[in-house]
Structure 1
Amino acid sequence: MQQAINKVELRNLQIEDYKELKNSMVEAYSELKEAYWQEEQIERLLEIFPEGQLVILVDGRVVGSALSLIVDNRKASATHTYEKITGNYTFSTHDPFGDVLYGIDVFIHPDYRGLRLGRRLYDARKEICEKLNLQSIIFAGRIPRYAEHAKEMTPKQYIEKVRAKEIHDPVLSFQLSNDFHVIKVMKNYLEGDVSSQEYAVLLEWNNIYYEKHQQLINTRKSVIRLGLIQWQMRPLNNLEALFEQAEFFIDAVSGYASDFAMFPELFIAPLMADYNHLSEADAIRELARYTDSIRKKFQEFAISYNINIITGSMPLLENGNLYNVGFLCKRDGTSEMYSKIHITPNEVFYWGMKGGSQIKTFDTDCGKIGIMICYDVEFPELSRLLADEGMDILFVPFLTDTQNGYTRVRNCAQARAIENECYVAIAGCVGNLPKVNNMDIQFAQAAVFTPSDFAFPTNGIKAEATPNTEMTLIVDVDVDLLKELHEHGSVRTMKDRRKDLYQIKKLKS
């Protein structure tokens, strides 16, 4: 390796680079006879797919390259030889309408190894794959140290030992460290590759941003805007007064182009003031009479303000049983109900509430979301089940009277964000409600929590409201960052679970 390096450059290959490209390739493949591309072959590559051909230069000298084609996934994944996948080295297999970037070559001059230049080429290939909306990168990697172990182990055993870092293979070890996974072993891949015994390992890197059908309209957004409503408990004369106040907030957050508006748990409680002469259990059952009217009105708001509304929660009386439920009113006019699964001792004692029985995620125009009402977020199994279904954002409408209760909800919500690699948004009620029994005081601070990794705030808090003050909190969250985290995070809690030792599953669908 040179003693001093002044400049490293990565760019697309040009035909003027051919002489230096050939020299570096000859040195890189010194154990293979005449292992270099002819100039007319490079010209052909640059003619059919110039953006897929890369070189890396050190002080103006070509010291490495990565060459690629686009092919159909079925051809790339099937057993093949190097000669076949390259169309007998004519590159006739290149298909501009294919869905896989197939790597036909990558090398670094021996004098420049150890500088992580190969990693730069791989990262650039991944960028090409993402920008061209290709499904994956596939290529067959040599295993040049297999010949040393061929007598005592099969290629499969060799791969497992390389994966376990018991054996170092200069090609395969590097590829596995770059997030490629093994598809299969292929025999007779490259004629004359004695050190690999002519075996090759078919490897793949999946593009997490790939969309099978690209759309011009109604495409799924990467950045989602959340509008959280920290609701002040106040006397309300009637249902129309509730709608007027709710519409004010929906109008406000939709004016900032929010994708979601979320209200707190039991924010309609002021309407119970008219029934304060009754027992707590009877008063809340009277409140349940409003639930269907509220759902219908919020569906209208969702359409007219073009926003998805999470209605917090309200009581629902069904077959004599009282539940704590809410509705996801989508901007397409449809709605779905969610229910509180775990009922607090207070809710059981004063109201005789029962827990719901459906655990599910919700499909929206902004991806999959989960919704849990208050106490439910303190049970980690629930959110893990939703995360397994692909949840990106967990919404938690809550109602807590003391700071102790709020601390439980907040800290558990933040834990759920970390362990499930998702965003968690919480919103509650604030203020006092003197004329409603069992609903006297409230404490809340709306917030949005994130996983804990480099792409997110160091404290895991994207934003938070002023405690105990009526306000809105409008926050942008980027779901593409979650995709990066799932695949390339410092830790990967979703992937690294020991499913051989434990698992969580639903008992009811």
Structure 2
Amino acid sequence: MSETVEIRQLTAEDYIDLKESMLRAYPDMAGSYWREPTLRRLIDIFPEGQIAIAVNEKVVGCALSIIVDYEKYGDDHTYEQITGYYTFNTHDIKGDVLYGIEVFVHPDFRGKRLARRLYDARKNLCERLNLRGIVAGGRIPNYEKFADQLTPRDYIEKVRDKEIYDPTLTFQFSNDFLVKKILKNYLPNDEASRGFATLLQWYNIYYEKDIDTVRYNKSTVRIGLVQWQMRDYAGLEGFLQQVEYFIDAVSDYGSDFVVFPELFNAPLMAEFSQMDSAKAIRGVAQYTEEIRDWFVSKSVAYNVNIITGSMPILIEDALYNISYLCRRDGTFEHYIKIHPTPSEVYAWGIKGGNELKTFDTDCGKIGIQICYDVEFPEPSRILAEEGMQILFVPFLTDTQHAFNRVRFCAQARAIENECYVAIAGCVGNLPKVNNMDLQYAQSAVLTPSDFAFPVTGVKADATTNTEMVVIADVDLVLLKELHAFGSVQTKKDIRKDLYEVKWKK
């Protein structure tokens, strides 16, 4: 006969089965079992926090919990204090932490992953209630065998390193719990643990503090990339008309971001074709602030955040390559390309910027790098450490070799930093503009490489060398899951004890 397993809320009618299971689960703690009035009180106070597991309709284990305002108790507390001396008057529906006060499974039913089901159910409850995490005091019942040779700290480290097996702590480690602290006299009558316990914590990666219902961070973000055709636009007015066409089109798809390429306003250099290229690009730079202000107005009018590609700008007579984030609330910030290419320096005299930071938006935290910047892994790592979820890379490349450098490096940045990378480039040619003859591009939205993402690591891409838009949805929740549960976790596993990346400025 096959077994049936059910996870459900515990009821007072389950007490007889539960008592039998508890007595068998704790043979080394005689008399330490839940009394029926105490259990009824707990169920009355917080019914959904009391989880039972039944095999063939017989309750063989449970996970019991309360919600607490953790700051009131901190990390130095005993079991009696956190439970209000078993009155559970410490339960606070406005609290921020789910406190685990009990988990056990009848020994005859161990080895069936029932405890893992209880833990998963408790984690799901924590996420559903939007609590910061789960905290619990954990026994170390095998410690009595090693107490003469090892301190509690040494014992815990050896269990973590799988040199020693502990039936409770080993299981906690396998369920993503971290040891915050060693507690003394947490359960004074726990002789097997010699009175010691581990203060365990599991973090809810979906927790949102003080959610603002008006301005909120979306979980699914729609990105629109403009693969821009270089052509003669007959001046600034014609150029802006074409830009607005794309903003309008991408906005109609409900996009949260529209992204333009690097130096996509280079067609305006045709106006200065009688000058050498260094003077011509400085001529175009005079339009940059006007174009920026125009972008700001359009981001509000079309309700879309705009990454303005990049444009040349003169700052105190020095020439830079600048990109703007124009938010749909009317605010804007800028990023200056840090690494000008050798040809930018030689032909135009462009200088590199000295600032790097992430930008907050209503769709998460983003970063901007311009073309050559993405070929250097260190700045992207710094942005990732600051919480960047999407990296936008406007680029301009003339040959397939140059494009592949950008594309492959952008893909690497997505994998190593566990983020999305959106690249947008120019296509076509400008025969009347020196140093801007040919363009090669395939714009794309790139992803990390794990089961939740496309096997190619490409969410969407454009047809090579064709003017078009690319629309793609990216799920920020998948990034949180990747950080916590990915097959590999490059952000978490970096060996900071050996090396680190620092920003010197």
What is the TM-score of this pair, normalised by structure 1? 0.97
User: Residues 380-428 of structure 1: CA distance to partner in whole angstroms, max 9, x if unpaired?
Assistant: 0110111111111000000111111111100000000000111000000
Q: Give the letter for the 1:116 counterpart.
A: R
**Given the alignment of the two structures, is residue 246 of structure 1 paired with residue 243 of structure 2, yes or no?**
yes
Provide the rounded CA distance (Å) in 2 between the counterparts of 1:499 and 1:218. Answer: 35
Matching of residues 47-86 of structure 1 within 5 Å: 47-86=44-83
2:13 counterpart residue number: 16
Instruction: Tell me, yes or no, if the aligned pair for 2:392 and 2:423 is still in contact at 8 Å.
Output: yes
Instruction: Tell me, yes or no, if the aligned pair for 2:75 and 2:181 is still in contact at 8 Å.
Output: no
1:235 counterpart residue number: 232
Q: Give the letter for the 1:261 counterpart.
A: V
Instruction: Tell me, yes or no, if the aligned pair for 1:76 and 1:138 is still in contact at 8 Å.
Output: no
Q: Which runs of 5+ in 2 are unaligned?
A: none
Instruction: Tell me, yes or no, if the aligned pair for 1:26 and 1:36 is still in contact at 8 Å.
Output: yes
The equivalent position to 1:418 in structure 2, one of 415, 418, 423, is 415
Tell me the CA shift for residue 253 of structure 1: 1.0
Instruction: Tell me, yes or no, if the aligned pair for 2:139 and 2:196 is still in contact at 8 Å.
Output: yes
Instruction: Tell me, yes or no, if the aligned pair for 2:216 and 2:363 is still in contact at 8 Å.
Output: no
User: Residues 72-108 of structure 1: CA distance to partner in whole angstroms, max 9, x if unpaired?
Assistant: 1124533222222212222121111111100010001
**Given the alignment of the two structures, is residue 336 of structure 1 paired with residue 330 of structure 2, yes or no?**
no
**Given the alignment of the two structures, is residue 356 of structure 1 paired with residue 353 of structure 2, yes or no?**
yes
Tell me the CA shift for residue 216 of structure 1: 2.5
**Matched residue of 2:13: which SS?**
helix
Tell me the CA shift for residue 440 of structure 1: 1.3
**Of 215-224 and 249-258, the range deviating more from structure 2:** 215-224
Tell me the CA shift for residue 192 of structure 1: 2.1
1:493 counterpart residue number: 490
Provide the rounded CA distance (Å) in 2 between the counterparts of 1:189 and 1:291. Answer: 65
2:32 counterpart residue number: 35
Matching of residues 369-448 of structure 1 within 5 Å: 369-448=366-445
Provide the rounded CA distance (Å) in 2 between the counterparts of 1:483 and 1:122. Answer: 19
User: Residues 247-290 of structure 1: CA distance to partner in whole angstroms, max 9, x if unpaired?
Assistant: 11111111111111110001111111121121111111111111
Instruction: Tell me, yes or no, if the aligned pair for 1:377 and 1:409 is still in contact at 8 Å.
Output: yes
Q: Give the letter for the 2:495 counterpart.
A: R
Provide the rounded CA distance (Å) in 2 between the counterparts of 1:194 and 1:315. Answer: 72
**Given the alignment of the two structures, is residue 304 of structure 1 paired with residue 301 of structure 2, yes or no?**
yes
Provide the rounded CA distance (Å) in 2 between the counterparts of 1:453 and 1:76. Answer: 39
Inter-CA distance 157–75: structure 2 relative to 1 (3 Å threshold): farther
Tell me the CA shift for residue 131 of structure 1: 0.9
Q: Give the letter for the 1:155 counterpart.
A: P
Tell me the CA shift for residue 16 of structure 1: 2.0
Instruction: Tell me, yes or no, if the aligned pair for 1:5 and 1:58 is still in contact at 8 Å.
Output: no
- Aligned residues: CA RMSD: 1.2
Instruction: Tell me, yes or no, if the aligned pair for 1:180 and 1:204 is still in contact at 8 Å.
Output: yes
Provide the rounded CA distance (Å) in 1 between the counterparts of 2:67 and 2:315. Answer: 58
Tell me the CA shift for residue 456 of structure 1: 1.2
**Given the alignment of the two structures, is residue 260 of structure 1 paired with residue 254 of structure 2, yes or no?**
no
1:162 counterpart residue number: 159
Provide the rounded CA distance (Å) in 2 between the counterparts of 1:359 and 1:423. Answer: 18
Q: Give the letter for the 1:202 counterpart.
A: L
**Given the alignment of the two structures, is residue 214 of structure 1 paired with residue 211 of structure 2, yes or no?**
yes
Provide the rounded CA distance (Å) in 2 between the counterparts of 1:325 and 1:398. Answer: 12
Provide the rounded CA distance (Å) in 2 between the counterparts of 1:136 and 1:75. Answer: 16
**Matched residue of 2:425: which SS?**
strand
Q: How many residues align?
A: 505
Instruction: Tell me, yes or no, if the aligned pair for 1:266 and 1:313 is still in contact at 8 Å.
Output: yes
2:88 counterpart residue number: 91
2:141 counterpart residue number: 144
**Matched residue of 1:196: which SS?**
coil
Tell me the CA shift for residue 59 of structure 1: 1.7
Provide the rounded CA distance (Å) in 1 between the counterparts of 2:381 and 2:213. Answer: 34
Provide the rounded CA distance (Å) in 1 between the counterparts of 2:90 and 2:285. Answer: 66
Q: Which runs of 5+ in 1 are unaligned?
A: none
Provide the rounded CA distance (Å) in 2 between the counterparts of 1:352 and 1:187. Answer: 66
Q: Give the letter for the 1:244 counterpart.
A: Q
User: Residues 435-456 of structure 1: CA distance to partner in whole angstroms, max 9, x if unpaired?
Assistant: 1111111111111111111211
**Matched residue of 1:126: which SS?**
helix
Q: Give the letter for the 2:76 counterpart.
A: T
1:505 counterpart residue number: 502
Provide the rounded CA distance (Å) in 2 between the counterparts of 1:426 and 1:285. Answer: 26
**Of 263-272 and 21-30, the range deviating more from structure 2:** 21-30
